[in-house]
Amino acid sequence: MMTTHLPILPVLAPFLAGALLLALPDLPMPVRRRIATFAVAAQIAIAVALLVATGGGDILVYRLGDWPAPWGIVLVADRLAAWLVLTATLLALCAVIHAGDGTDRRGRHFHVLFQMQLFGIAGAFLTGDLFNLFVFFEILLIASYGLLLHGGGAERTRAGLHYVVLNLIGSTAFLFAAGLIYASLGSLNMADIAARAAQVPPENLGLARTGGLLLLAVFALKAALLPLFLWLPAAYAHTSAPVAALFAIMTKVGAYALLRADTLLFGSTSGALAGLFAPWLLPLALATLAAGMFGALAAESLRRLAAWLVVASVGTLLTGFALGPAGVAAGLYYLPHGTFAAALLFLLAEGIARRRPAGADFFAPERDMPRHALWGGLFFAAAVAAAGLPPLSGFLGKFMLLRAAQGHPAQAWIWGVVLVAALAGVIALARAGSRLFFSTRTVEPAPAAPQSAPVDMLPDELPDPPGAPRELTAILGLLGLILALTAAAGPAADFARATAAQLADPAAYRAAVLGGSR
């Protein structure tokens, strides 16, 4: 019975937790935090169960209302969906722990929006219906609008307005794309679309191609692929740290949708529509990687730097996705690493900004911060992870990527861009670290001020801000996840390879959803 209903549990759990928190507005904040943390922990347990259930290669199909497949909406859990749901929930646990240090008090309904965001993310990963994917995108977007603006402030509103308007245009384009695909292929079930794409009548081919390429544009906007990435740095740099950390998975939702469409809708068995995305993905991904690293080199604050590294990590990921099964495996191994590393940098940026009252996280000289050895060490570890240096998992992911590119016609380009971008990342992070930690200035005692400002108002070391234990727990948790991904590199890479093999065989997905008739 549990296995039957397993695919819908990752969607239901956050929805019910969010509804519960919304229905009980008078609960004291510590209780709300405990409920939210417990809900995320339960979602991790569900995601692990889903990973175990799909790990053997089974594709679990959940027919809502038990309507047969092409007509009703289906949720489909395969290895890819389970892998991504687990990544998202693990990230969410660290983000929700960090939010408990006071961020969640700076506005109403933080935890409700947080759970609804997880609801939308899990739904987007699991749904097997194109229009339902649109609905889950809208759910995760409207929750993200609330979270992005949480806490308020002029800069946040300005960045939020751009983010909302761009995503509304993206949603409209998604509807146009879904309409075109329904008009030309006559179905919205993704497995059914894949089956019908093989025998699309020639007079509808143009419409179907237009719809498919419009989908590419929409998913590229969500994934922040060049040239549609300009909204990301401002939006991510100006929101609160736990939200920015959670948003590290949001670009991966777009990357997931691109991968799903590329392998299933326009996969190897889709006849005239096969490989519709192929000419676009690799050049755009490499250009995105390069643009992200240029941005990182030019960043003036740690948050901006982290936001640009999110763009670069999307570029790395999609370079992998464009290289066939071996590249997809590399990308899927790199995906959790890139997500956790970006989130880690956002949380660290917040922690550092709180301890440098005048300079915040800008690369400007400032008084030495309290416990600088601890924060410097954490930053060093995070920088090693974000730059993809050995011994952490980012290096392994990039190494798999370079191996996958061996013998590819564009090998020189791929190796060149990936390696030079890695060097640029090291330079950007080294510059950030030396500016933040080494370039300190000593504080002169206040010159005999006429008013009674006692000298001990300016101590050499500032006191540690409140909420530090939660902050450190979240940061160490993310670091632990990266270490675990490094230590378990063998099994994780095997799983990524098995996932890539499953994605390369869209016929199995179609048979699971449509009952083997086609």
Token pair belonging to 328: 């997809």
Residue identified by tokens 């969500």 is 222
Token pair belonging to 249: 């998975």
Task: Sort 274 into a burial class: Cβ within 10 Å, 0-12 / 13-18 / 19+.
Answer: middle
Site string for another protein, 458-477 (x = CB under 8 A): --------------------
Cβ 161 to another protein, closest distance in Å?
A: 5
> Can residue 172 be called a binding residue for another protein (CB under 8 A)?
yes
396: helix, strand or coil = helix
> Can residue 178 be called a binding residue for another protein (CB under 8 A)?
yes
> Can residue 171 be called a binding residue for another protein (CB under 8 A)?
yes
> Can residue 179 be called a binding residue for another protein (CB under 8 A)?
yes
Q: Which is nearer to another protein, 130 or 404 (CB)?
A: 130
Number of residues that bind another protein (CB under 8 A): 28
In our burial notation (b when 16+ CB lie closer than 10 A, e otherwise), range 379-413 reads bebbbbbbbbbeebbbbbbbebbbebbeebebeee
Cβ 141 to another protein, closest distance in Å?
A: 8
Q: Which is nearer to another protein, 181 or 500 (CB)?
A: 181
Q: Which is nearer to another protein, 160 or 320 (CB)?
A: 160
> Can residue 135 be called a binding residue for another protein (CB under 8 A)?
yes
Please give the biggest Cα pair distance in the chain: 88
- From 120-128, 134-142, 250-258, 412-420, give the range in contact with another protein by CB under 8 A: 134-142
> Can residue 183 be called a binding residue for another protein (CB under 8 A)?
yes
> Can residue 168 be called a binding residue for another protein (CB under 8 A)?
yes
189: β partners: 129
Q: Are 327 and 401 in contact (CB under 8 A)?
A: yes
Cβ 188 to another protein, closest distance in Å?
A: 8
Q: Which of 42, 44, 51, 131 binds another protein (CB under 8 A)?
A: 131
- Complete DSSP assignment for 28-78: -HHHHHHHHHHHHHHHHHHHHHHHHHHHTS--EEEEGGG--TTTS-EEEE-
Round to whole Å and give the CA distance between 134 and 31: 34
> Can residue 217 be called a binding residue for another protein (CB under 8 A)?
no
Residue identified by tokens 């019910």 is 16
- From 86-94, 179-187, 395-403, 475-483, give the range in contact with another protein by CB under 8 A: 179-187
224: helix, strand or coil = coil
User: Which residues lie closer than 8 Å to 8 by C-beta, 6 or more apart?
Assistant: 62, 64, 75, 126
Q: Which of 99, 112, 188, 284 binds another protein (CB under 8 A)?
A: 188
Contacts with another protein in 137-166 (CB under 8 A)? Answer: 138, 142, 145, 149, 152-154, 157-158, 160-162, 164-165
Q: Which residues bind another protein (CB under 8 A)?
A: 131, 135, 138, 142, 145, 149, 152-154, 157-158, 160-162, 164-165, 168-169, 171-172, 175-176, 178-180, 182-183, 188
